Structure 1
């Protein structure tokens, strides 16, 4: 079956709209994890802070990913501000990530898909490739992006540099901890955000991997419903469990490769 056949048979357009409660969840999911991790780091409990920092990064990915597809339920400025502020908190130009992610959907796993380069690597190769991946998405955006993307990338990188300088200059140790963890997490993106959901799918790139075990989706905040996301990228993450049920009802025999 083709992508278009699936889109025609599955009801999905009603899932694009968020209720006020859902909008609040999608736009504030990062806050408790960030506050807890920073509080623990402030008092020197760095080991205890680590899982909360990890969940902050994961929920931050969910938030900006919805922002890429205009699925946060907010206006244009608030969506932009979400991407900008998370750039500083997550130590990467989120608009550079957005540019490459939109291209990833358009050119999935082809030579033009710079985000997806690690999908064809071994798992350890994808991990080692992480720093190159982060450098490349900035480089490609500055080379191929339009004026708005270039302006946003420069603004975000400049803001990151200023904040990092101030944090190290004033020796704000709990923020130093946070930035180090975020850089480390960014270096793992080629593995977690690309390889885990796309390896061994080159023959049918539109059929990305997915995760259907409920407890696994709960601890990963539904971020591994990737088959569903590639088929219907406009659907917000909070609606992906329902979308998965609809796809299963319409196409019970559709191939579903698991992420983990």
Structure 2
């Protein structure tokens, strides 16, 4: 069964609409983790700050990922602002990531899918590939994107550079910690955001891996409902558990490969 046949069988369009509460959650989900992590780092409790920094990176990724697909429930400017501010906090041009992610959906695991290159690697190769992955995300945007994407990427890179210069010039130790952890997160993206959800799916790239089990999805903030996301990218992350239920009820014969 191809992805188009799957889409016809599952009711999903009502899931695109967010309530005011859901919109508030999706647009602010990363903030508590950020403030707790930098507060602990300010008092030099770096080991205690580390898990909160990790959850900030994960929830910020969820936030911008929804922004890529216009699924934050906000207008064009607020979505742009979310991507811009998270670029500074996550230490990468999120518009460059967006450009490659949209291409990933269009050319999934093909030669033109630069985001998905690590999917065909061994797990340790995907980890080692991480720094090159982040360089290519920006380079491909520079080479192939339209003027608007390039302008947004340039604005974000200049802002990141200004932020980094200020932090290091004034030796703001808790923000130096934050920046280093964010760079580490970016270098692991090829493994966590690509390899884990796409390895060994080349025979049917449209059916990515997914995750079942409530505690696992709570721990990962529903970010591993990846098959569901690829089939219905317009559905916000907060609605993916409900979408997964609908898929499971309607498509009992569908073979779902687990993420972990």
1:23-62 paired onto structure 2 within 5 Å: 23-62=23-62
Alignment of 1:72-111 (within 5 A): 72-111=72-111
Residue aligning to 2:191: 191
1:5 Cα deviation after fit: 1.0
Cα deviation 1:92-140 (Å, max 9, x = unaligned)? 0000000000000000000000000000000000000000000000000
Deviations 1:149-200 (A, max 9, x none): 0000000000000010000000000000000000011000000000000000
Q: Equivalents in 2 of 1:102, 1:124: separation in Å?
A: 26
- Per-residue CA deviation, residues 19-72 of structure 1 (Å, 9 max, x unaligned), is 000000000001100010010000000000000000000000000000000000
2:212 — aligned with what? 212
Write out aligned runs for 1:1-260 (5 A): 1-260=1-260
Q: Which structure 1 segments of 5+ residues have no match?
A: none
Flag structure 2 segments of 5+ consecutive residues without an equivalent.
none
Counterparts of 1:87 and 1:31, CA distance in 2: 14
CA distance in 2, matches of 1:4, 1:37: 43
Aligned residues: 260
1:184-235 CA-partner distances (Å, limit 9, x unpaired)? 1100000000000000000000010000111000000000000000000000
Please give the TM-score of this superposition, normalised by the length of structure 2.
Answer: 1.00
Structure 1 residue matching 2:63: 3-state secondary structure: helix
Q: CA RMSD in A?
A: 0.4
Matched position secondary structure for 2:243? helix
User: How far, CA to CA, are the matches of 2:38 and 2:162 in structure 1?
Assistant: 20
TM-score normalized with structure 1 length: 1.00
Q: Which runs of 4+ in 1 moved over 2 A?
A: none
